[in-house]
Chains A and B, each alone.
Chain A
Amino acid sequence: MKTVQESRRLHDVRNQLSIIVGFCDLLLGEIPEHDRKHADLLEVSKAAQTAIALLEDVRVS
């Protein structure tokens, strides 16, 4: 069972990661797929999404 403080911290981390995913999403829509930056940005987005998924594991553990 998580304490309120731990839950709050998890929420805050998730919140920050969501901002990264959100901006990546926006920029990915503007950068053409053949542009190398597109693939790089996709990695940033994937990493942030993986981190969010890992948070889920922390939450239930």
Chain B
Amino acid sequence: MQWPSLGLPRIASATHTPVREHAGRVLVVDDVDGNVRLVASVLEPHGYVVSSVSDGESALGEIHRTQPDLILLDVMMPGLDGFEACRQLKADPETRLIPVVLVTALREPHNRIHGLEAGADDFISKPFNAHELRARVQSLVRLKRYTDDLESADSMILSLALTIEARDLSTDGHCQRLAAYACAVGARLGLSECDHIALRRGGFLHDIGKIGIPDDILLKRGPLSPDEYKLMQSHTLIGDRLCGELRSLRAVRPIVRSHHERLDGSGYPDALEGDAIPLLAQIIGIVDVYDAMTTDRPYRRSTTPWAACEELLREAKRGRHRRDLVDAFVSLVTTGELPAIGAQRQL
């Protein structure tokens, strides 16, 4: 899925599942009209909506426009052939999850290998058996629906994160800022693309577990009682459990669970020490502290970015944060490279 850079998430597909009035939308890409008609005759009586284009170039445009559930792609076409069209579809994040079946009259085994290398999900030789075509289409469309549902789950958990944030107006923009700050630190440290994605998602989702914390504790002005504090701390465990079922959030779970851990073992929920605390969780932990200090909270006024950086450096000296990570973050603040978002105080 496409995660928002900084704006609101795409949640339309998550808010309700549209009623599907058809078995699936299939795009046939073939320059021979008889083939298109044959596929339509096989699939339409079974509830599929079949559309067609006659060459690879038009296919790419049509697929971006209509986002079909499945593409039946002829290999030998004038212009952009099926292999190349398939390769381009599978290289594009917008289209790579749409199953592609290469349908071809080519018999040689190397064509099949070619197709698999191009990223095709299946291969059907002409002449094909109608039952076989239907069965394969049905199974791939089902797979596509599972993927769509997972995507929806992803978007839903993200919108949940922003819902939590919306409960507490004093943290307005917190998730966006954390995602941006953490990514800036990641870039400064030269972390991988995977880590970068995890940091962005982690910025949004780190406090997702607060959905399980009652309003009277979450929004309480003044200090929490020991019991309330313990309950508040459990948001890390609740969040970890919430993300647990989603494969796409696997890299984010350590952030959600461990962003309140501290190097000296004084953090929660597991009192981890040193390198036992996942690196990405440490980064989110640092930018979280900074953002908390530089925004107004119900129980105190915000401090200046300078003062917040000094406090972070003091905490690093006390052994609560890794010094090199704090240094990387502070250097972003002092050079003015920290992205400016929302309501935090300016220098």
Residues of A within 8 A of B (CB): 8, 11, 14-19, 21-23, 25-26, 29, 48-49, 52, 56, 59
Contacts and interface: CB of A to CB of B under 8 A. Distances in A.
A26 B105 contact: no
B35 interface: yes
B107 A22 contact: no
A15 B38 contact: no
* Candidate in A11, A18, A56, A59 with the most chain B CB atoms within 10 angstroms: A18
Nearest to A17: B127
B76 interface: yes
Contacts, number: 45
A56 B41 CA distance: 27
B42 interface: yes
Nearest to A22: B38
A18 B34 CA distance: 9
B38 A11 contact: no
B271 to A, nearest CB: 67
Interface string B73-92: 00010000000000000000
Nearest to B103: A18
Contacts of A56: 107
B35 A15 contact: yes
Given A15-B126, A18-B126, A26 B35 contact: no
Given A11-B105, A56-B107, A22 B130 contact: yes
Contacts of B41: 23, 26
Contacts of B76: 8, 11
A29 B107 CA distance: 26
B32 interface: yes
Given A11-B106, A19-B32, A29 B130 contact: yes
Contact of B127 (A8, A11, A18, A59): A18
Interface string B26-51: 00000010110010011000000000
Contact of B38 (A17, A23, A29, A59): A23
Contact of B105 (A18, A23, A49): A18
Contacts of B42: 22, 26
Given A11-B76, A11-B105, A25 B129 contact: yes
A16 B35 CA distance: 8
B187 to A, nearest CB: 49
Nearest to B129: A25
Interface string B115-149: 00000000000111110000000000000000000
Q: Top 4 nearest A-B pairs by Cβ distance?
A: A18-B126, A18-B127, A21-B127, A19-B34
Interface string B177-210: 0000000000000000000000000000000000
Contacts of A8: 76
A26 B40 CA distance: 11
Contacts of B34: 16, 19
Contacts of A15: 32, 35, 105, 126
B107 A59 contact: yes
Contacts of A17: 127
13 contacts: A11-B106, A16-B34, A17-B127, A18-B105, A18-B128, A19-B32, A19-B127, A22-B42, A22-B127, A22-B128, A25-B130, A26-B130, A49-B127
* Candidate in B32, B35, B126 with the most chain A CB atoms within 10 angstroms: B126
A51 B130 CA distance: 20
* Candidate in A8, A25, A26, A56 with the most chain B CB atoms within 10 angstroms: A25
A55 to B, nearest CB: 9
Given A11-B106, A18-B105, A23-B41, 18 more contacts: A8-B76, A14-B105, A15-B105, A15-B126, A16-B32, A17-B127, A18-B126, A18-B128, A19-B32, A19-B35, A22-B38, A22-B42, A22-B126, A22-B127, A23-B38, A25-B130, A26-B41, A49-B127
